[in-house]
Every structure is written in C-alpha cells, then in structure tokens.
C-alpha cells in the first residue's frame, strides 16, 4: 500500500510539473526566480542552471529540496535525451566495428547514468520517511556523481576510435549537455542543509 501511495504522489508531482512547465517567469513571483538564480550562482554552469530550472519556479518556490528534485528531474530528462540521440547514431549504416563498439559502450554508460539518476530521485522522494537522512543523502550524492562519471566514460571511449567526426561531435555535445546539467544538480545537492 505504501509503495502505491508513493507512486501516486510521484505521478501527481510529475503531472503538476508537466502542466505548469510552460509558465513564463513573469507568471511566477519574482522571489521564486530570484531564488533559483541565486542558488544557481554557485554552480559550475550558473547560466545553464538558471535556464533549465527557471521553468520550475512556480513549483520550486523558495524550497531548496524542491530545487534539487527539479534539478535531478532535468538531469534525468537530459540523460534520456542523450541516450536516445546516441542510440540513433548506433543505427547508422557504414559504422565500423570498433566505432560501433565504442558507441554501444557509450549507450550502456548513459543507460547506467539514467538508472543512477532514477535512484537519486527515488531517494529524494523518500528522504522524509527515511530514518537515516545522512546515509540517504550520501547515496544521492554517490549516484549523481556516478552518473557524471558514466557520461565522461562515454566520451572518453569515443576519443580513441575512428568515429565519423560529425557523429562524434554530436554525441559529445549531447553527452556534455547532460554532464553539465547533472553537475549543476550535484552542486545544488551538496549545498543542502539536512
């Protein structure tokens, strides 16, 4: 029953975020967008952080936990996009076997990142019900950091292979975007008080 309730609440939160996402910054109180901008100022990529999280201002309000949850959600979406994009490149004709193997490894690495970010989100959802908040936060940080490492492993694996320059550039670009968004999420998580 408890798992059903958690799933229901998670679904409601996702629906709310989905339907309120198009709200413009003007439709949300200035304090909320200021909170996001101020929180993002100390991340590795502050402009990207503000750009990707501002659409969630009405949901986040001035709550650092909601901000971290939104940041992890954006990271997960970006990782899924990277996985989809890299998968499309793996199906192109004329890719040599070494290049195909490197792209396949990249897909697996990004798949691991997706799983790790899902674990982080589940842990964030249950943190209030968990008796050992310190351990749970350590797990969230570890999984989020591992997601970044897996993204780096993907791009490192492509470096030594003869993959078409355009394909390699596109893969690096989409994975780099995912890594940057996730790095920002980790930075916000590291500053949470708990």
Domain-wise residue ranges, the chain: 2-190
Q: How far apart are CA 168 and CA 179, in angstroms?
A: 16
Select the more confidently predicted residue: 164 or 135.
135
Select the more confidently predicted residue: 148 or 160.
148
Mean confidence (pLDDT) of the chain: 87
**CATH superfamily of the domain spanning 2-190:** Invertase/pectin methylesterase inhibitor family protein (1.20.140.40)
Q: CA gyration radius for the chain?
A: 18
- State the pLDDT confidence band at 181, using cuts at 50, 70 and 90: very high
pLDDT of the residue at 26: 47
Rounded average pLDDT over 116-125: 96
Note the pTM of the prediction, 2 decimals: 0.83
pLDDT of the residue at 27: 52
pLDDT of the residue at 24: 45
Is residue 149's pLDDT more than 50? Answer: yes
Is residue 5's pLDDT more than 80? Answer: no
Select the more confidently predicted residue: 16 or 173.
173
pLDDT of the residue at 117: 98
Q: How far apart are CA 117 and CA 143, in angstroms?
A: 7
Residue 179 to residues 22, 59, 130, Cα–Cα distance (Å) = 24, 24, 28
The whole-angstrom distance between residue 123's C-alpha and the CA centroid of its chain comes to: 14
User: Using one digit for the tens of pLDDT, what is the confidence trace for 16-58?
Assistant: 454 444 444 445 689 999 999 999 999 999 999 999 999 999 9
- The percent of residues in the chain predicted with pLDDT above 70, rounded, is 85
- State the pLDDT confidence band at 77, using cuts at 50, 70 and 90: very high
What lies within 8 Å, CB to CB, of 103 at 6+ separation is 86, 89, 90, 95, 158, 163, 167, 171
- Tokens describing residue 75: 């990271």
Select the more confidently predicted residue: 43 or 163.
43
Rounded average pLDDT over 74-82: 98
Rounded average pLDDT over 95-122: 93
Select the more confidently predicted residue: 136 or 2.
136
């Amino acid at each position: 029953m408890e798992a059903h309730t958690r799933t229901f609440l998670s679904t409601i939160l996702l629906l709310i975020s989905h339907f309120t996402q198009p709200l413009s910054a003007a439709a949300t109180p200035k304090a909320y967008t200021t909170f996001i901008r101020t929180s993002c100022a100390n991340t590795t990529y502050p402009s990207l952080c503000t750009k990707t999280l501002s659409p969630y201002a009405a949901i986040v309000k001035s709550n650092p936990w909601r901000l971290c949850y939104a940041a992890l959600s954006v990271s997960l979406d970006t990782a899924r996009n990277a996985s989809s994009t890299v998968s499309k490149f793996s199906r192109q004709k004329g890719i040599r076997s070494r290049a195909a193997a490197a792209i396949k490894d990249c897909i697996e690495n990004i798949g691991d990142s997706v799983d790790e970010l899902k674990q982080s989100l589940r842990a964030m959802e249950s943190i209030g019900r968990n008796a050992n908040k310190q351990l749970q936060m350590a797990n969230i940080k570890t999984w989020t950091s591992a997601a970044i490492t897996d993204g780096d492993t993907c791009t490192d694996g492509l470096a030594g292979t003869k993959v078409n320059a355009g394909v390699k550039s596109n893969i690096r670009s989409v994975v780099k975007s995912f890594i940057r968004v996730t790095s920002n999420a980790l930075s916000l998580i590291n500053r949470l008080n708990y």
